[in-house]
Structure 1
Amino acid sequence: MESTTIKQVTVVGTGVIGNGWISRFLSQGYDVIATDPAENAEKRMRASIDQAWPALEKQGLAKGASKDKLKFEPNLEKAVADADLIQENVPEREELKRKVLAEIDRFAKPDAIIASSTSGLKPSTLQADCSKPGRVIVAHPFNPVYLIPLVELVGGKDTASETIKKAEEFYQSLNMKPLVISTEIEGHVADRLMEAIWREALHLVNDGVATTEEVDAAIIYGPGLRWALMGPFLTLHLAGGEQGMKHMLEQFGPALKLPWTKLVAPELTEELTDRVVEGCEAQTTGHTIAQLEERRDEFLIELMQLLEKYWPGANLNGKI
């Protein structure tokens, strides 16, 4: 179901995330204009959309959804001129993002929403050079954007509440699960959680405790299964028995002081880099990235169907 206020969408930057957004927008029936100054950007973009489309067809396309609704416009000013919402996806460098967002702000019509896909920067920082900062927000997705429903919405100190409200309605129209974060912080919420596990995973590999394959298996066949349904808090709530989290904290709270985790990231030495790269390559021997992505997409579609079945609050058409 399309948003009642947003009809035309522009995507600025056509890397992995930008192309993921384009695929999702198109699959939900929106008209999309894409722009990117990189050489051969349009060719790579259309190949990426073609690769994602079978998974989107399997998941179910909205009425009127078509790849023919995509137009590539190399000129930024022309690309954003008529857009109701502009999704920015340029590389994660503060100076570059601020520059591009200020340009978008200058060229876009006054009531257009400008959303950045940044995974770590604060919206107050990104909107600092814009003349209309009230319409600038963070809308941070997760790869593959065309399937994963979560999008973190964060407003800066100058973001208007109406902008957040309109954005939330729009992303819900994409069958997404917008999580409105009330307090801006570097890395938002989900990335901070993932980063903590990533740091500890690197330590385990660096210290020779486990290989990349063993670390992955520890998540896949253990906590990952439970987290897919309940997340960390409800998972531990059930671990406390009839008294739930109360007993859990009484029983295992003291263990939090034990120095099990490293907290800080290990130095990314050449040796650690080689160990991680070689481990991942060994895990995927005989399979191309495209094959792995196809397998991942099929799994995610079935997993989300299972999640909807067992956790009604996770229905993709509602709020988190």
Structure 2
Amino acid sequence: MLPSVTVVIPTFNRAHLLPQAIDAALGQSHPDTTVMVVDDGSTDGTTGVLARYAEHPRFVGIRLGTNVGTAQAKNVGIALSRTDAVTFHDSDDLPHRDKVLRQARVIGNEGVDAHPCLNWEMTGRAPESRIQIGAVLTHHELILPDGTRVEIRRTLSLVDDFFPNLQMAAGPPGDWTHVNSGMFHRDVFTRIGGFSDCIEEDREFRNRLIMAGEVFWVIPDILLTKIESAGSLTLAAATDYDSPRRVADRRRVWDQVENWFRTREVTAVPIDLSAVRIVGCSNPALCNPSALPSELRNLQPSAAGRIA
């Protein structure tokens, strides 16, 4: 089975980068791909960019009334999507043409068994039982503002918060970049919830997947190019790796891991959109109607694209 996929692109005040990210996502070779941009209360020209794509049959632009942060914008994408799987791209991500297709082929493979040479009882599974792949990651390349090219390869770095003693051959911003651009089976969100409201949301979500025993698959090829600009969260003074806010979030994530080592308990993060105001939707037919405000559910695409 080749599952349907939604590419969720959360964005805030990055209108200058957004068209290339949307074009790259719409140009994916996977025929059943929906591209959903969640505009997190932008005040630049993002509304105009979304209007250009409003008539595209596989595009949906969501506009939020206020800025709620990347984690909640991703949760909006999860709640509104209707597909079998979801992947998250940033507005500076350029996925290679077959990226989504290759991930979807893995996540839709229903013939994977738990090989008895591995200790599957640690994840609550029986040897030789059928496995559902929960997360499919790929390697990617990162182009830094000075033009330096860094390859992000996800191997032992997946467990850096569990076993830092295994990480000495990698260093930030290398393999320590976590699960952005991963693809996730929809059932994963049912089991463990969505993203925690912090700026280490990718790291926290990845750890929760691991602790909950979800099955990862890594495609060992570079399938996405990320062009990091001066306005990115990891380079901004208030949110870079050494900022007080990120240090505090990282400590909270580490505390969760330490608690799991003691108790083996994993707490789901419910997706709560009660404080999120969705003010625009360019194509309600591509969305889960129960997650849309009633006044947006039955609008035709052309009318929905003009919601103020």
**TM-score in same-fold range (> 0.5):** no
Quick one: higher RCO (CA 8 Å, sep 6+), 1 or 2?
2
Point out the structure with the larger helix share.
Answer: 1
Interval of TM-score (by shorter of Structure 1 and Structure 2): under 0.3
**TM-score in terms of structure 1 length:** 0.26
